[in-house]
A = this chain, B = another copy of it.
Amino acid sequence: MLFKVRPAAKEDCKEISRMILELASYENMTDQVKITHEELERDGFCPNPFFECLVAEVPEEHQSKEGVTIVGYALYFYTYSTWKGRSVYLEDLYVMTEFRGKGIGKGLLSKVAEVGKKKQCVRLQLSVLDWNAPSRDFYAAKGAQDLTDSEGWHILRFDGRDLDNLANEAPED
């Protein structure tokens, strides 16, 4: 199938928002999604954006059952390693169910790698859930190392009241 991968425009945020919900639904977590398309527009299309996004688009004649032509997305941002330097982090990679198995996910992933290399990034990182075998297999087949298994890295998070408490105890300027 023909498809095109291109940088998302501000006008694509409604479609991206729809797919964020579809991805959360696959993970049985739609109640967790608090982001609106207005917030995506604000945070991704400002000076110094918090993220960048690619979308996969198919021609009108291949549109989905629901009549959409934007059928996948990859949302990423730049991070930094104090050992190695610039890195790119893939937050979400998603392709609609009826468009899977056609190389669209691989196309999006490769494009993020290419964009990262052009920015002199030396790493592409992402996180997967341990029960998500299809995703783990997909990335492993393309050469990803599992740093939690091999080096023992754990992800920690402060949010809600714990984050507020920390911030409130910051030393004065």
A residues apposed to B, CB below 8 Å: 3-6, 20, 23-24, 29, 32-35, 39, 43-44, 48, 50-51, 75, 77-86, 89, 91-92, 106-107, 109-111, 113-114, 116-117, 122-131, 136, 139, 142-149, 151-159, 161-171, 173
Whether A80 pairs with B85 at a CB distance below 8 angstroms is no
Contacts of A79 in B (CB 8 A): 50, 77, 79, 89, 91
Bound together, the chains give a CA A80 to CA B126 distance in angstroms of 12
Closest Cβ–Cβ distance, residue A159 to chain B (whole Å): 5
Inter-chain pairs besides A35-B82, A129-B153, A130-B154, 5 sampled, C-beta below 8 Å: A110-B167, A128-B153, A128-B154, A142-B165, A143-B161
Copies of this protein chain in the complex: 2
Whether A5 pairs with B171 at a CB distance below 8 angstroms is yes
Whether A162 pairs with B148 at a CB distance below 8 angstroms is no
Whether B107 pairs with A170 at a CB distance below 8 angstroms is yes
Beyond A83-B33, A128-B153, A152-B130, whether A158 also contacts B171 by CB under 8 A is no
Closest Cβ–Cβ distance, residue A78 to chain B (whole Å): 6
Bound together, the chains give a CA A163 to CA B82 distance in angstroms of 19
Whether A106 pairs with B169 at a CB distance below 8 angstroms is yes
Nearest B residue to A160 via CB reads B122
